[in-house]
Amino acid sequence: MAGQKRGRHLLVSLINMRLVFKQLQAVPVIGNLSKIYFMNLLRISVFTAVIVFIISYHPQSQARAAFIKPESVLLQVLEGNKPLTVFFAEVRVSVYDPEAFAPLDEESNLNLQPYEIKEKSYFQQVVFIRDEFVSIQTMDDSGNPMHIYIHEIGGATLSKSLSSQRFFSSEDVQFPAIILFTKHLSLLSISLEEMGIDHTQLQISHQKYLIHYLIGNEENHLRVDTNSFKALGINRQIQIDGRYYPMTIVFSDWDEKRQAIPLTTRFYVKSRLFKEISIEKIRFRGISTQRNAILKKYKYLLKADYPFSASTNWGQ
């Protein structure tokens, strides 16, 4: 990681030297040195910096990645999220049409404004107790339930559409960052596998001056910042009308109190926005009350097949 930081610092130095070079073109004489002589010295300095930069920053860092264990990176991600144990969030989900201006099968380099399908937007209430309980209640603009998802770690899972007008699958209603809020590497590994991400692989990605760890391969991976070990997003393949397309999930705007929680999550298919999750309210107290209220509200669905616990252990 020291080599990565050195490469980043060298890149900044190169940018600064180029700015100085442009400024010197307007200077007739600098002290006793002629302008031509000084600029030649500057060119030599820039050339030397470029050589050092290439040596330290060349994408052969995949070889260096062999010395970094994927589980070590994932453990650092979990350690950063460790303070987050419970939360209740009110969420707004906006839906966009990725084919409003061109079919997904057609390549488009146009930077067009995303077209929001406002009648498709909906709200969610998320109750989270680490390594114990998750519920996601999906509602329309009027507060009418359209889907309920309840999951106890190591226990039962209920996922049911409640509206005859609109169908939701379990994946449709998920809050993807939740998989990162566990204490256990085994649970995170299982969640990544369910997304088609191989948690035993690690690569190092270079994009301009940014360096990221990729847990997985080029197509399916968890993207992690190399400095903060914050998970920045997920790439995976999704199936639409029988065909597979690349989907990118981007986490941003982290909550000030609990830096683990991204307040905004955007979903892109072939680089086109199609869904945005925005947390409008969040709190970290009274979570047991919210949990009990959800179980009571949907008690009529919780038959013998869904033996949810009546108490909270808090898993801390």
For 44-109, the three-class secondary structure string (H helix, E strand, C coil) is: HHHHHHHHHHHHHHCCCHHHHHCCCCHHHHHHHHHHHCCCCCEEEEEEEEEEECCCCCCCCCCCCC
Asked if the model's pLDDT at residue 40 lies above 70, the reply is no
pLDDT at 134: 96
Range of 105-119, 177-191, 244-258, 290-304 with top mean pLDDT = 177-191
pLDDT at 145: 95
| Sign of the C-alpha dihedral computed for residues 254, 257, 261 and 264 taken in this order | negative
Asked if the model's pLDDT at residue 306 lies above 80, the reply is no
Of 120, 106, 133, the C-alpha closest to 294 is 133
pLDDT at 312: 47
Determine the 3-state secondary structure of 288 from DSSP: helix
What's the rounded Cα separation, in Å, for the pair 87 and 179? 14
61-65, 81-85, 210-214: least confidently modelled range: 61-65
Predicted confidence band at 10 (pLDDT cuts at 50, 70, 90)? very low
What's the rounded Cα separation, in Å, for the pair 98 and 100? 6
- Cα–Cα distances (Å) from 307 to 169, 290, 301, 302, in that order, read 21, 18, 11, 7
Q: In the 8-state DSSP scheme, what is residue 114?
A: P
Determine the 3-state secondary structure of 41 from DSSP: helix
Higher pLDDT, 6 or 244: 244
Go through 45-81 and write b for each residue having 16 or more CB atoms within 10 A of its CB, e for each that does not.
ebeeeeeebeebbeeebeeebeebebeebbeebbebb
Q: pLDDT over 90 for what percent of the chain?
A: 56
The per-residue pLDDT for range 236-280, each reduced to its tens digit, is 998 887 788 999 999 999 988 877 899 999 999 988 999 999 999
Backbone phi, then psi, for 133, in 5-degree steps?
Answer: -150, 135
The reported pTM is: 0.76
Q: CA angle at residue 203 from 199 to 205, to 5 degrees?
A: 130
Higher pLDDT, 304 or 149: 149
Asked if the model's pLDDT at residue 17 lies above 50, the reply is no
The per-residue pLDDT for range 150-199, each reduced to its tens digit, is 999 878 889 999 999 899 988 899 999 999 999 999 999 999 999 999 99
15-19, 46-50, 118-122, 259-263: least confidently modelled range: 15-19
Asked if the model's pLDDT at residue 61 lies above 70, the reply is no
pLDDT at 12: 40
Sequence spans of domains, the chain: 2-58, 71-301
* Multiple choice CATH, 71-301, 1.10.10, 2.60.40, 2.50.20, 1.10.1060: 2.50.20
